[in-house]
């Protein structure tokens, strides 16, 4: 990780891409359950806020090894959150696929 600033930009990018996929599905697939997709979008927004707050408030500021591990875990959580949301979105699309 280069900096906290870059990490926050990465969080914004990954989560906005996942969110845009939700709106893409809503726009181009009229048969999908809109309520479920909006719930997924809400979860993405909530995760985004949580991840941004975690990025600016690391644990153990005095110990560099703890900080490095903290940010490593944060990146893993970001990717897991985006993957989970996209998996749920994929499941919703598969329900109406012909």
DSSP 32: S
Gyration radius of the chain over CA positions: 16
- In this prediction, residue 34 has a pLDDT band, given cuts at 50, 70 and 90, of very high
Q: What percent of the chain stands above pLDDT 90? A: 81
User: Structure tokens of 77?
Assistant: 């959580």
Per-domain residue ranges for the chain?
4-96
Q: Residue 50 half-sphere exposure, CB side, CA atoms within 13 Å?
A: 12
Q: Are 58 and 70 in contact (CB under 8 A)?
A: yes
What pLDDT, in 10s, does the model give residues 52-80? 999 998 877 788 889 999 999 999 999 99
């Amino acid at each position: 990780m280069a900096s906290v600033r870059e990490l926050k930009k990465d969080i914004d990018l990954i989560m906005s891409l996942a969110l845009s996929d939700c709106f893409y599905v809503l726009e181009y697939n009229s048969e999908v359950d809109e309520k479920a997709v909006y719930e997924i979008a809400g979860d993405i927004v909530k995760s985004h806020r949580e991840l941004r707050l975690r990025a600016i408030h690391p644990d153990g500021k005095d110990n560099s090894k703890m900080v490095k591990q903290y940010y490593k875990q944060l990146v893993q959580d970001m990717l897991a959150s985006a993957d989970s949301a996209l998996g749920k979105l994929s499941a919703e699309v598969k329900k109406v696929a012909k």
